[in-house]
Amino acid sequence: MMSFTSTIADSVNRYPELKIIDARQIHKEKFSEIPEQAFYQVVSRMAKAGEIERLTKGIYCRPKSGRFGKILSSEKDILEHYLGKNEKNGIVIGYRMYTMYGLTTQLSKDIQMYSNIPLEEKRQIRNVSVKKADLRFDASTKKLIELLEVLQHHKEIEDLNYKNLWKFLSAASEHYNENKLGNILGEIKYKKSTLASLKNVLDHFGVSNTVGKYLKGTSKYDALDVEKIYEATPESTGF
Task: Give the model's confidence band at 231: pLDDT under 50 very low, under 70 low, under 90 confident, else very high.
Answer: confident
C-alpha Rg value of the chain to the nearest Å: 22
What's the rounded Cα separation, in Å, for the pair 27 and 22? 9
| Dihedrals phi, psi of 31, to nearest 5 degrees | -130, 35
Residue 78 near residue 126 (C-beta atoms within 8 A): yes
Sheet containing 21-22: order of strands = 21-22, 59-61, 53-56
pLDDT, residue 24, reads 96
Residues near 126 by beta carbon (within 8 Å), at least 6 away in sequence: 55, 56, 75, 78
Residue 127 near residue 111 (C-beta atoms within 8 A): yes
Q: What is the mean pLDDT of residues 17-22?
A: 97
The amino acid occupying position 24 is R
Q: Are strands 111-115 and 128-132 parallel, antiparallel or unpaired?
A: parallel
Averaged pLDDT score across all residues of the chain = 94
Give the distance between the most distant pair of CA atoms in the chain. Answer: 77
What's the rounded Cα separation, in Å, for the pair 48 and 53? 8
Task: Give the model's confidence band at 3: pLDDT under 50 very low, under 70 low, under 90 confident, else very high.
Answer: confident
The whole-angstrom distance between residue 216's C-alpha and the CA centroid of its chain comes to: 29
Residue 53 near residue 69 (C-beta atoms within 8 A): no
pLDDT, residue 1, reads 46
Nearest to 139 by CA among 185, 177, 165, 168: 177
What are the tens digits of pLDDT across the range 44-99?
999 999 999 999 999 999 999 988 899 999 999 999 999 998 899 999 999 999 99
Q: What is the mean pLDDT of residues 227-231?
A: 88
Task: Give the model's confidence band at 218: pLDDT under 50 very low, under 70 low, under 90 confident, else very high.
Answer: low
Nearest to 136 by CA among 194, 180, 73: 180
What are the tens digits of pLDDT across the range 89-126?
999 999 999 999 999 999 999 999 999 999 999 999 99
Task: Give the model's confidence band at 239: pLDDT under 50 very low, under 70 low, under 90 confident, else very high.
Answer: very low
pLDDT, residue 192, reads 96
CA distances from 151 to 32, 77, 154 (A): 42, 30, 6
- Residue 12: HSE in the Cβ half-sphere, 13 Å Cα cutoff: 33
